[in-house]
Structure 1
Amino acid sequence: MTGRKTHITAGVLISFVLIWYLVPKGLVLSPALLPIALVSSALGAVLPDLIEPPRNRRHRKFFHSLLCLALLLLYLNQTYLSLLTAVPADEVTIVLFFSGTGYASHLVLDALTPAGLPVVGL
């Protein structure tokens, strides 16, 4: 099972990569929003384990499932498109987008463990 530090590191790294990718594509990100994006991603990266604490091997339910990841990726795609069309990006959208990417990074890391992720998790 991956640890909290690994999840936070991956979430913040994903934020840096996304910012590096999105700014040349037209995302207007003020310097004040950069720390908000990084903190949001770090919090999103630990959110699945706050919702469903890892007390045993079978703690992975819906919020640790492939279905949740698929729904999250659909949301992130829509938000990505709105980030590129809305100028400048507002704080709420930035927080939701980057916390969502942190959450997705958590699920991807968990999917790579031997336990994997359940399909639906119900």
Structure 2
Amino acid sequence: MAGRKTHMRAGVLVSFILIWYLVSKGLVLSPALLPIALASSVLGAVLPDMLEPPRNRRHRKFFHSLLCLALLLLFLNQTYLNILNAGPADEVTFGLFFAGAGYASHLLLDALTPAGLPVAGL
């Protein structure tokens, strides 16, 4: 199981990759959005373990499931399209996008562990 520091590092990496990608698509980001993106991504990367603390090997329920990941990816896709087409409308939407990306990085790292992720976690 990946530790908190590993998930935080993944959140930072995801944040930088997404910022680079959005800029490469022609989106002009104000300097005020960069710390929001970074902080949101790191928070999102540790959020699953805050919602479902890893007290034992079977702690992974809905918030650590493939169903949650699928719903999150749908949200990220729609938010990405909105940001790309209309620009970052506000700091909250931008922050939620990066928090969701950090959350997804957490789930993907957990999926690579021997325990994996449950399908629905219900």
TM-score above 0.5, yes or no: yes
**Residue 74 (1) aligns with residue 74 (2):** yes
Distance 1:23 1:89, change over 3 A: farther
The residue identity in structure 2 corresponding to 1:27 is L
CA distance in 1, matches of 2:47, 2:90: 22
How far did 1:26 drift? 2.8
- Secondary structure of 1:121's counterpart equals coil
How far did 1:89 drift? 3.5
Q: Is the 8 A contact 2:88 2:94 kept in 1?
A: no
Q: Is the 8 A contact 1:28 1:89 kept in 2?
A: no
CA distance in 1, matches of 2:12, 2:53: 21
CA RMSD between the two structures: 0.9
Q: Is the 8 A contact 1:44 1:101 kept in 2?
A: yes
Partner residue in 2 for 1:43:
43
Partner residue in 1 for 2:60:
60
CA distance in 2, matches of 1:47, 1:88: 23
CA distance in 1, matches of 2:107, 2:59: 13
Distance 1:50 1:88, change over 3 A: closer
Query: Which blocks of at least 5 consecutive residues in structure 2 are unaligned?
Result: none
CA distance in 2, matches of 1:36, 1:103: 15
Q: Is the 8 A contact 1:41 1:98 kept in 2?
A: yes
Partner residue in 1 for 2:99:
99
The residue identity in structure 1 corresponding to 2:71 is L
How far did 1:86 drift? 1.2
Partner residue in 1 for 2:10:
10
How far did 1:90 drift? 1.3
**Which stretches of structure 1, 4 residues or more, deviate above 4 A after TM superposition?**
none
With normalisation by structure 2, the TM-score equals 0.97
Percent pairwise identity:
83
With normalisation by structure 1, the TM-score equals 0.97
Partner residue in 2 for 1:25:
25
